[in-house]
Amino acid sequence: GAGVSQSPSNKVTEKGKDVELRCDPISGHTALYWYRQRLGQGLEFLIYFQGNSAPDKSGLPSDRFSAERTGESVSTLTIQRTQQEDSAVYLCASSPDVQGANEKLFFGSGTQLSVL
Amino acid sequence: GQNIDQPTEMTATEGAIVQINCTYQTSGFNGLFWYQQHAGEAPTFLSYNVLDGLEEKGRFSSFLSRSKGYSYLLLKELQMKDSASYLCAVRDWNYQLIWGAGTKLIIKP
């Protein structure tokens, strides 16, 4: 596709359930980021994938959070045993080359997660 | 620790000029970005600075002083559609992006 695609756009779940969020980056982009954004707040880094390198998981808030990426393609963010504090918008972004001179991020529209 | 500071909220009048400041303390520096985020939408790229000085792009300009750890985004001839949050982000020594909390800009007629 032309841009970064995320699905679902909205997800309502019950506390304790697992959820899986999907991100399709722009074709050819080697770098992929997941961010969390709570209402009225800035971007909170979660995890970053760069090509075939080991992902940077330093932003994952707990072991309930995990993410995978298939090659330089689709990524899924999984939240197990969801809690109410997990409610937020989850944004995915991709970039052609993280160490390029000025490589900007292209963001998806996000998944609004609501945990009841 | 690494830190990006921006004002939380600013108000300006349609047709006027507004300057949004960003100060940073990071481990190394490999460029500074400004993004615009309208309510309920994803951030979109506005500007990039890696050398000191002013980068102008239409109504928007961005300035950087690396020695002062300081940047600003200047918006001229403000329009109602400029009402949004403006996010400052710095790339550190390891090319990781450090994000500010964003500045909510409110434009009044």
Q: Is B100 on the interface with A (CB under 8 A)?
A: yes
Over chain B (109 residues), the average pLDDT of each successive run of 10 is: 92 98 95 93 93 95 97 98 96 87 96
Residue B109 CB burial class (10 angstroms; 0-12, 13-18, ≥19)? exposed
**Segment 28-47 of chain B within 8 Å of chain A by CB:** 31, 33, 35, 41-45
Say if residues B31 and B98 touch (Cβ distance below 8 Å). Answer: no
Whether the predicted pLDDT of A1 surpasses 70 = no
Question: pLDDT tier at A2 (50, 70, 90 boundaries)?
Answer: confident
**Residue count (chain B):** 109
Strand, coil or helix: what is B63?
strand
Q: Which of A42, A99, A102 lies at the smallest CB-CB distance from B99?
A: A42
Work out the number of other CB atoms within 10 angstroms of the CB of residue B21: 15
Q: Dihedral through CA A95, CA A9, CA A23, CA A46, nearest 10? A: 70
Q: Percentage of residues in chain A with pLDDT exceeding 90?
A: 77
Lowest mean pLDDT among A15-29, A36-50, A81-95, B15-29: A36-50
Work out the number of other CB atoms within 10 angstroms of the CB of residue A28: 9
Say if residues A92 and A23 touch (Cβ distance below 8 Å). Answer: yes
Instruction: Find which of A104, A109, A111, A112 to mutate to test the B interface (most B CBs within 10 Å of its CB).
Output: A104
A93/chain B closest Cα distance in angstroms? 9
The contacts of residue A6 (CB under 8 Å, 6+ apart) are A21, A22, A23, A24, A90, A91, A92, A108, A109, A110, A111
Q: Which pLDDT score is estimated for A71?
A: 80
The contacts of residue A77 (CB under 8 Å, 6+ apart) are A20, A21, A23, A34, A46, A47, A65, A66, A67, A90, A92
Q: Which pLDDT score is estimated for B94?
A: 81
Distance (Å, rounded) from C-alpha A26 to C-alpha A24? 7
- The predicted model gives A14-40 an average pLDDT of 94
Q: List pLDDT tens digits, range A61-112.
A: 999 999 999 888 899 999 999 999 999 999 999 998 766 656 789 999 999 9
